[in-house]
Structure 1
Amino acid sequence: MIRAALTALLTFLPAAVALAADEVARADGALLRGLDKVSGRTTEIRLQVGEATRFGRLEVRLGECRYPAGDPSSDAYAQLAITDLAQNVTLFSGWMIASSPALSALDDARYDVWVISCQS
């Protein structure tokens, strides 16, 4: 019984992974928003995949941006690397999700950066 269930699971799993992969699209770039908590000023940050830009003392680098293929205007998630250039330390490296910025957030006393959308 367990063997049959395991065989069924292993047979179904590749199809489920392929289906999930088909439902996600990759964009050429992303729109991010940065907040300087001291001045209260927000800045739109547009990046292409593989590109980096400076935001205050931070370097923000976009690795990838993905979104649901069936609904491009819905939830975006971006792979980012954010480095403090003054201290030469990586503050954030991973995926940020537009609909849940607090789930995986940059932890910095002065700056916030979050994903708005993917851009083609």
Structure 2
Amino acid sequence: MKRLVAALVLLPQLAAAQDFADADAGVLRWLDKLTGETADIELTLGQEAESGRLTIRLDSCRYPADNPASDAEAHLTILEKDVAKPVFDGWMIASSPALSALDHPRYDVWVLRCVTPELPPPVDPAADQPAEDPATSEGDGQ
């Protein structure tokens, strides 16, 4: 009982330990297991793409705010032609695709990454230094 109480007390702290940022788009990979065809699909939020008999919609994409290149999580809704209920409606995690996977006999879909804002290029401290005159540097221009 004490362990359960301790776990319940620590759970909100663990969940708050990592802040996530929302992305406007995500990149998914689609596979037709029968033909071997693959495609990478970039979707913006709410956008749908048709691949084979599937319609894939990206509902949300988020990534760790402190490390944008790290693990992405995306909420997807996947419909199949002539099937009333979605064949998948939930979160997929890029680093653990089998944790919450599309269970389909022919197709596979998984998350690769969220599309994150471009980071500014690193500042080169040498770029602020005036260029040396080659005629005055040692050993050159004599």
> Which TM bucket (shorter chain)?
0.7 to 0.9
Structure ranking higher on relative contact order (CA contacts 8 Å, 6+ apart): 1
TM-score, scaled to structure 2: 0.70
**Structure 1 residue 27 corresponds to structure 2 residue 23:** yes
Report the Cα distance in structure 1 between the residues aligned to 2:50 and 2:82, rounded to whole angstroms. 12
**Structure 1 residue 78 corresponds to structure 2 residue 47:** no
**Structure 1 residue 64 corresponds to structure 2 residue 82:** no
TM-score, scaled to structure 1: 0.82
Aligned length: 111
Shift of 1:13: 8.3
Going by fraction, where is helix more abundant, 1 or 2?
1
Q: Return 5+ residue gaps in structure 2 as ranges.
A: 117-142
Going by fraction, where is strand more abundant, 1 or 2?
1
Task: Find the counterpart in structure 1 of residue 113 from structure 2.
Answer: 117
Does the C-alpha gap of structure 1 residues 90 and 20 become closer, same or farther in structure 2, counting only changes over 3 Å? same
Identity %: 51
Q: Quote the RMSD (CA, aligned, Å).
A: 2.3
Does the C-alpha gap of structure 1 residues 88 and 70 become closer, same or farther in structure 2, counting only changes over 3 Å? same
- One-letter amino acid of the counterpart of residue 20, structure 2: V
- One-letter amino acid of the counterpart of residue 34, structure 1: W
